A and B are shown apart, each in its own frame.
Chain A
Amino acid sequence: MTPEAERPYEKSVFINCPYDPGFVDLFHSIVFTVVAHGFVPRSAKESEASADPRIDRIASALAESKYSIHDLSRFTGGGVDNFARFNMPLELGIAIALRYAGRRTGRVHNWQVLVAGGYAYQRFVSDLAGFDPSMHDMTVTSIVRVVSSWLRRQPDAATPAPSARAVLAAYEDFRSQVEHLSQEALDYSIWPDILLAAYRTSPRL
């Protein structure tokens, strides 16, 4: 476990989204937007080398984060058995529980839910009715738009926020660095290197 000073609760944003190849841009664009707005992305990927059970590692990282972003775009079945995957709703549930627990402890947790356009979410996760998830169309621009707008409203946001043009322009550099890292890494986890790439390419004021 890393020292407490290196895991600032107020600046941490836990990202819960699919890692499948078709969602790589979605994941990376959220990571980059979080960094561009002065926050630290947290993910289940950060503790893959740990021997602890995965759910413990996820719950721990979530509890150490004041904010979390949950993308529910991948809601259909997949693979040979066409199973739906419940990891993302499970992690969203933990975040919602943290928010309610925080009312007693004063340790607030704010969460954002993203869905790909349309209102299908009202059928596959009808309990979210009334919470108005942020909608995107799976493009980088739309994801940066909704995540940026949400982050800018959070009490710990950096001001002034970077312009849309600056974030999108810098994202291309970030993406090419991450692609290069992925090609070199083979099966090796490159999460810390992705964070360092975001550090290097994040738009400066």
Chain B
Amino acid sequence: MLSISGTIGVMRGCALKVFISHSYEDRAVALRLACALEERTLEPWTSARLEPGKDWKAAITQAVSESQGFLFLVGPQSQEDRWLQVEWQAILESDWDRVPQRPMIPILFGDVAVPIFLADRVALSTEGSMDLPVDRIVQLLLNPEETRLPVNYDRARQEQKQRLDVLKQFALSLKLASQHPEGHSLSQ
């Protein structure tokens, strides 16, 4: 375990801003995590603290652009939560052309898969308990290089080649069909 000092979340004189992305069902956990991060002098943001009547989307967009790290609470409902998908889209759009990209840490609740866009990130798991690995979260936030998993580029290139070959074959079959339109009908 890390020893957590009172100033661990402070970088260059200002608190590290952290966006906690979560579904409506996980808002209690998000609030608990936010409190734990504040105790470590980080500055968390969660939509669970938004006041009613606020422009929800504008608030998210602003918080995403100001955040220096992202925590994704991933539960069984996450993939089907339309509002959560909006948050994920906003985060990816904001981070799309950033170099280096900001730390993103999936935190898994229960037997759930890591969202595909986080497949190359170190994922944390609560392993069935409701205890949050706060120390590990803080450690990763402060060391972004540790949040990346090594990429197997040989395998990735092979998969890319296979996908592009599928495209090529599809295009060639369309080309052939366009040259022989009489044999090209949906009814066949």
Contacts and interface: CB of A to CB of B under 8 A. Distances in A.
A2 B93 CA distance: 35
B97 A145 contact: yes
Contacts of A131: 82
B185 interface: yes
Contact of B160 (A38, A155, A192, A198): A38
A192 B178 contact: yes
Contact of B188 (A1, A191, A199): A1
Contacts of B93: 134, 145-146, 149
Interface in B40-96: 57, 82, 85-86, 88-89, 92-93, 96
Interface in B112-165: 115-117, 119-120, 151, 153, 156-157, 159-160, 163-164
B175 A157 contact: no
Contacts, number: 129
Contacts of A40: 166-167, 170
Nearest to A165: B97
Given A1-B185, A159-B119, A198-B167, A46 B157 contact: no
B181 A195 contact: no
13 contacts: A6-B170, A35-B167, A38-B164, A40-B166, A49-B178, A51-B185, A131-B82, A134-B93, A152-B92, A157-B116, A160-B156, A196-B172, A199-B168
Given A1-B186, A205-B156, A199 B174 contact: no
Interface of A: 1-3, 6-8, 11, 35, 38-40, 46-52, 56-57, 60, 130-132, 134, 141, 145-146, 148-150, 152-155, 157-161, 164-165, 189, 191-193, 195-196, 198-199, 202, 204-205
Interface of B: 57, 82, 85-86, 88-89, 92-93, 96-97, 99, 115-117, 119-120, 151, 153, 156-157, 159-160, 163-164, 166-175, 177-178, 181, 184-188
B117 A50 contact: no
